[in-house]
Amino acid sequence: MDRDSQASLDFFMKMLRIRAVNPRMGGEGEGERAQFLEGFMKDEGLSVTRVDVKDDESPGAVRPNLSAKLEGKNRARNLWFISHMDTVPEGSRDLWDTDPFEPTVRDGKIIARGSEDNGQSLVASLFALLTLKKLEVPLPFNVGVWFVADEEFSSNYGIKQLLKRGLFKKNDLVVVPDAGSPKGTDIEIAEKGLLWMKVTTKGKQVHASLPKKGLNAHRVGMRLALDLDTLLNGKYRRRNKLFDYPVSTFEPTKKEANVGNVNTVPGLDVFYFDCRVLPEYRLDDVVHDVRLKIRQFEKRYGASISYEEVELEPAGPATSQKSEVAVLLGRAISRISNRRPRFVGIGGQTVGNLFRREGIPTAVWSTIDDVPHEPNEYSRITNLVNDTKVFAALPLLANPSMKR
Ligand SMILES: [Zn+2]
């Protein structure tokens, strides 16, 4: 291994020893890890911007976000690599073969909580930046990194705050290396909109031998869930082959328990749907259809039915395959990895979607085996080294005449 790769590996191991479990998941937060990163970046001669977001419920009462950048020819434009410092907890310790917070190198893998999600990309982007700094090559635009807080929970103290504060521009190029594929070929440029809905039906609870005296909320709820299932899956049928799962999905999922005994007609019924909607549809239209169906059911059955959004995250417009960030990333992947990249969409959501919603073209990419949040989570050293090279090459492959 060359000296720079060894240095990034050593640094990676040190970082993984500093816990940064999201405080909303019972952890200590990003504080100590951020301090370590800030110190290192300053020692390397980078000037660091730190954005502390107040969070009284977290140890230290603030959530740190860090950034550093190198200036390019066009100082009004930035290429950003965005990764997150926080991790999920280790989960059940019994399922780990090693200590999740004492990184272990085995078979070319670094095993630790947060190694793949999102440590590998954080370290790769930082060392790409340091390489560019050392090379002293002219850059077409500013190139920088952001290490953000709170991605694993809500991004309320991370990216959402940074976007609110206007720290990104419409003409910036954004790479979010927080999802990917084992061969590093998949450039994600589109995500589905997400809607989690909760439907509560209130009827009248009575003895099961006298059902006419009451109103069986469970029966109304079941019929409603089936009707919504048919309606939504039947109406929103468009296909988009960018996605491996090329259609929108509407799945009845959670069901809350009702009565504790068999001989009571339930007066209350609660069910949930998980909906993942292609970006060509508006979530508002889905919600409108659901509300309409609910009104019909209220009239038909005389029940009172309420609708709540547990989660509503509309999809931003897909990033064009011809956008500069997508083109440059594709170019860097083909040159460095000798593989032909392909563009994909995913059903999950990354912070990439938040940028797309602001109209900022964003590519989500990394080389990972896709084991986030699992016990024995790992990062392959070869992926760390490869992705560092791809990130460093990306701005150098820009054609000066290329405009957005
Ligand atoms: Zn992540």
**Digitized pLDDT (tens) for each residue of the chain, 404 residues in all:** 888 889 999 999 999 999 999 999 999 999 999 999 999 999 999 999 999 999 999 999 999 999 999 999 999 999 999 999 999 999 999 999 999 999 999 999 999 999 999 999 999 999 999 999 999 999 999 999 999 999 999 999 999 999 999 999 999 999 999 999 999 999 999 999 999 999 999 999 999 999 999 999 999 999 999 999 999 999 999 999 999 999 999 999 999 999 999 999 999 999 999 999 999 999 999 999 999 999 999 999 999 999 999 999 999 999 999 999 999 999 999 999 999 999 999 998 899 999 999 999 999 999 999 999 999 999 999 999 999 999 999 999 997 555 44
Give distance in angstroms: CA of 152 to centre of ligand 1.
6
Annotation says 43 is catalytic: no
Query: CA-to-CA distance for 319 and 103, rounded, in angstroms?
Result: 36
- Distance, CA 293 to ligand 1 centroid (Å)? 37
pLDDT for the residue 404? 46
Integer Cα distance of 78 and 76 in angstroms: 7
Question: Rounded to an integer, what distance in angstroms lies between the CA atom of residue 23 and that of residue 42?
Answer: 26
Q: Does the annotation count 86 as an active-site position?
A: yes
Question: How many CB atoms are located within 10 Å of the residue 138 CB?
Answer: 10
User: Which residues have their alpha-adjacent CB atom under 5 A from ion ligand 1?
Assistant: 117-118, 178
Among the listed residues 128, 144, 182, the one whose alpha carbon sits nearest the alpha carbon of residue 7: 128
Which residues does residue 273 pair with via DSSP β-bridges, in sequence order? Answer: 197, 252
Number of H helices, E strands in the chain: 9, 17
Measure the CA–CA gap between 94 and 197, rounded to whole angstroms.
35
The catalytically annotated residue of 30, 38, 55, 86 is 86
How would you class 307 by CB atoms within 10 Å of its CB: exposed for 0-12, middle for 13-18, buried for 19 or more? middle
Instruction: Identify the burial level of 260 via C-beta atoms within 10 angstroms of its C-beta, where 0-12 means exposed, 13-18 middle and 19 or more buried.
Output: exposed
Distance (Å) from CA 3 to ligand 1 centroid = 28
| CA of 1 relative to ligand 1 center, distance in Å | 27
What distance in Å separates the CA atoms of residue 40 and residue 44, rounded to the nearest whole number? 6
Residue 105 bridge partners (DSSP):
110
Write down the catalytic residue from 151, 191, 377, 387: 151
Those residues with Cβ within 8 angstroms of residue 78's Cβ, 6 or more apart along the chain or in another chain: 69, 141, 142, 143, 144, 168, 169, 172, 173
- Find the helix packing angle between 3-17 and 120-135, rounded to 10°: 140
- The C-alpha atoms of residue 300 and residue 298 are separated, in whole angstroms, by 6
Backbone Cα Rg of the chain: 24
Evaluate whether 122 touches 148 at the Cβ level (below 8 Å): no
Q: Does residue 229 contact residue 252 with C-beta atoms inside 8 Å?
A: yes
DSSP string, 156-178: TTTHHHHHHTT-S-TT-EEEE-S
What pLDDT, on the 0 to 100 scale, is given for residue 202? Answer: 98
Predicted model pTM: 0.91
> Residue 332 Cα, ligand 1 centroid: separation in angstroms?
22
Dist. CA 346 → ligand 1 center (Å): 14
Asked whether the beta carbons of 8 and 124 are under 8 A apart, the reply is yes
Secondary structure of residue 294 in the 3-state scheme: helix
Comparing C-alpha atoms, which of 87, 66, 70, 89 is closest to residue 79? Answer: 70
CA atoms within 13 A on the CB side of 20: 32
Q: Rounded to an integer, what distance in angstroms lies between the CA atom of residue 265 and that of residue 212? A: 10
Angstrom distance (rounded) from CA 392 to CA 126: 10
Q: At what angle do helices 381-396 and 3-17 cross, to 10 degrees?
A: 110
Give the separation between CA 209 and CA 114, rounded to whole angstroms: 56
Task: Report d(CA 174, CA 319) in Å as an integer.
Answer: 11
- Residue 181: DSSP 8-state: B
Q: Is the peptide bond before 118 cis (omega within 30 degrees of 0)?
A: yes
Q: Give distance in angstroms: CA of 85 to centre of ligand 1.
A: 9
Closest CA to 195 of 286, 256, 307: 286
